[in-house]
Chains A and B, each alone.
Chain A
Amino acid sequence: TQLLEQSPQFLSIQEGENLTVYCNSSSVFSSLQWYRQEPGEGPVLLVTVVTGGEVKKLKRLTFQFGDARKDSSLHITAAQPGDTGLYLCAGGDNQGGKLIFGQGTELSVKP
């Protein structure tokens, strides 16, 4: 069974700080997705990483896929209160479009 483990589970920081969230697995994934979810809403797709070693940037967010395609990280530079939310990594199970989700990282950015 493929599993994705995220760390940390909770993160509370001050505005302007940098942070990194990790998503790890013992299994190889063809791609990994990062989603952000706000309370009472559905997850919103942020990025897909496909190639081992790939780095993608989305404004102040930097996503990296591990060389072996077993892990990924999300780095936020100069966090803002608007970044507050639940960050989820997800990978495909190779069964149709079944996505396996990590348990999430709850980020709180205080002004």
Chain B
Amino acid sequence: DSGVTQTPKHLITATGQRVTLRCSPRSGDLSVYWYQQSLDQGLQFLIQYYNGEERAKGNILERFSAQQFPDLHSELNLSSLELGDSALYFCASSFQYFSYEQYFGPGTRLTVT
């Protein structure tokens, strides 16, 4: 158990819908990272927040957005969902802003039908 929690574990929704994925980092960690894992693209970095502020951005679609709240939990919002958005979404956390030793949550499996 990494100490990172993600909800929900599974999510099934229809195209065009909007969903919110939630992540609570390890106790004391200030950085939260979001990654997408699909069979064809592998693990891809989406976005990083540190202590409430966006710090790094990957190839995150404009339909996707994230935020980190004062209690340090984070939410990833996915809108206008397409079939190709079906994937595993992982949240990771670390104490420092610039740390490559990241601790991953169990993930949310999103299925868009």
Contact = CB atoms under 8 A, between A and B. Distances in A.
Contacts of A101: 42-44
Contacts of B101: 33, 45, 48
Interface string A83-110: 0000010111101111111111000000
Contacts of B97: 96-97
A42 interface: yes
B106 A41 contact: yes
A65 B106 CA distance: 28
Is chain B's binding surface mostly helix, strand, loop or mixed? strand
Interface residues on A, range: 20 to 34
A97 B102 CA distance: 8
B4 interface: yes
A14 B44 CA distance: 32
Interface string A17-50: 0000000000000010101000011111100100
